[in-house]
Structure 1
């Protein structure tokens, strides 16, 4: 059966490729690679000789459609990126989505991933986590969003921008625990641990000015601004005066003021008790 295989490749250490990935790469008709020159070196190392086609973030929709048509016609294709798992902050998502929409079998192979490798090394509780990939260049809004997330957050960053990112994080959450995983699985792999502020202050940024960075922010308790109960009470009174039920009024005020429904309900209950038991 014609299939698109999503094949993870090593982040740096070639020993991390799986036997299954090697078998698939040797068996498919075509290998779609983010950078054919880079991938050719990998394939030559493992004595794999297969036709290579270029598929990267700038590939057009016409190129995607052409590749999907080849798979639909019976060819099997392995999708690889320069490192890690295709489709995770890497090219490939459009091709994967179009194959699924076209009813083509898509098989994802387990393997190297900077996200999972860094999360495992961080040692943080992982009942949930958020992965944001590379943040936008003007990352203030993203930092504000991260400050509101209580569970671990993973981002990628370039060496030229990582210090600036930490400066922005320091302004919002200086004591949040942090792991920087630099050059994962490569010769100069390094884990930098601490809080946002301590890592920012103690790191020799000239020394770590190169490489690939995966940043894991640990769990923390976002600051909850103090609520003005008087303002909530006044808003609730105005809403209830329109004739809506207490339940609906609580929902409206909570949504309008961005406050907890439990808090609004407590205020509504106090108001009701006060009316029932006048002094």
Structure 2
């Protein structure tokens, strides 16, 4: 393993070329080979930072075969950098197959920190960041998109999606239809570029904003949806089932306390509910 080469995961700018790190420039200049999602696109960046390292393509359509070739080169001692068209590789970009194979074949993988549209957008959105989930691009087909949104209807964490300009309005309409027009959302577009824009409001308001000006639908988008707000007095079905089960074995206060701790609910509300169960059962 000591003689194997290393795979470097190198983030590249998402718009502003000044965002490339000094470490990224050094690594790209020192490795023997750069695997790029689109070699023609990446060549422009390399020319800008005066790097002539040889490029080889690695994208969704050739990754399985290319990964095998690159593993062989890594085993021969070559150091390789992986880059995508923009941002951090593997985050809604190719590279998973290669990294997975590197781990399976005892090749060191060294990820560099750097630009990522999802994190950049989230940090400036003003939505909760203590918990969030990243779902990449929503499905293009309408029914699949609706099902995906239904799956996060009661998700309490902030949800982050990427979206294309041609689908952003339809996706926002789906958010309104499935999650409700009052759900808080933030739309970020053209991050780090000249026309970077953040729009914050309800889903209804964001949909209206998108349709107000055709320019609002141009660019690459990050869509962030605020998490579902639970009512402190709203008791999930699974919590009620557990309460009923425990009521058969424990005193109401004890049963209510256990369920309250398990689901983060108010103990007194559960206690009153438990008493109601007991009265109904007695009747």
Q: TM-score, normalised by structure 2?
A: 0.80
Task: Find the residue that maps to 2:86 and give its secondary structure.
Answer: coil
Q: Distance in 2 between matches of 1:211 and 1:42?
A: 20
Structure 1 residues 182 and 69: alpha-carbon distance in aligned structure 2, compared to 1, 3 A threshold:
same
Q: Which residue of 2 is the match for residue 134 of structure 1?
A: 137
Does residue 80 in structure 1 map to residue 83 in structure 2? Answer: yes
SS in 2 for 1:122: coil
1:51 is displaced (CA, Å) by 1.0
Choose 5-14 or 135-144, whichever is displaced more: 135-144
In structure 2, distance between residues paired with 1:6 and 1:28: 11
Can you give the 5+ residue segments of structure 2 that lack an aligned partner in the other structure?
A: 260-264
Give me the whole-angstrom Cα distance separating, in 1, the residues matched to 2:34 and 2:206: 41
Counterpart residue number, 2:192: 185
Q: SS at 2:201's partner residue?
A: strand
Q: Pick one of 21, 25, 28 that aligns with 2:28.
A: 25
Mark the runs of 5 or more structure 1 residues left unpaired by the alignment.
Answer: 255-259
Q: Among residues 188, 209, 212, which one is paired with 2:217 in the alignment? A: 209
Give the structure-1-normalised TM-score. 0.81
Distance across 1 between alignment mates of 2:236 and 2:215:
48
1:165 aligns with 2:171: yes
CA-atom RMSD in angstroms = 3.2
Selected match of 2:181 from 155, 166, 174:
174
Q: Report the CA distance shift for 1:56/1:222 in structure 2 as closer, same or farther (over 3 A).
A: farther
Residue 9 (1) aligns with residue 12 (2): yes
4+ runs deviating over 3 angstroms: 222-229, 262-275
**Contact 1:129 1:151 (8 Å CA) reproduced:** yes
After alignment, is 126-135 or 218-227 more displaced?
218-227
Distance 1:77 1:182, change over 3 A: same
In 2, are the aligned partners of 1:147 and 1:222 still within 8 Å (CA)? no
Change (3 A) 1:26 1:270: same
